[in-house]
């Protein structure tokens, strides 16, 4: 459920923004997708959002790594 929702939101954000540039589209879509994925996953798996900060930091670092590769 978390992956399906986050991927759907990712595409919904990415598609309209891709004309503005790959970096803008990837950054915005990943931000929305990682938040949705973390909220749904933690809610379903643990019934708590206690681990949300760690999830967001870890996924944000991966987004930054991807952006660095794209920008290079």
pLDDT in tens, 3-39: 999 999 999 999 999 999 999 999 999 999 999 999 9
What's the Cα-to-Cα distance from 13 to each of 2, 50, 52, 60, rounded to whole Å? 16, 27, 22, 17
Residue 72 pLDDT greater than 90, yes or no: no
More confident residue, 72 or 36: 36
pLDDT at position 22, please? 92
Against a cut of 0.75, is the pTM above it?
A: yes
pLDDT at position 1, please? 83
For the chain, the domain total comes to 1
Do the beta carbons of residue 49 and residue 39 sit within 8 Å?
yes
Domain assignment of residue 54, given as a range: 2-71
Determine the Cα–Cα distance for residues 6 and 40; give it in Å rounded to an integer.
9
pLDDT at position 68, please? 94
Cite the DSSP H helix spans in 1-72. Answer: 2-17, 22-46, 52-71
């Amino acid at each position: 459920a978390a992956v399906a929702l986050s991927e759907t939101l990712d595409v919904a954000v990415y598609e309209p923004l891709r004309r503005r540039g790959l970096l803008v589209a990837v950054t915005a879509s990943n931000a929305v997708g990682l938040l949705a994925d973390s909220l749904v996953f933690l809610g379903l798996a643990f019934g708590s959002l206690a681990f949300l900060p760690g999830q967001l930091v870890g996924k944000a670092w991966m987004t930054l790594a991807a952006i660095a590769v794209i920008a290079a």
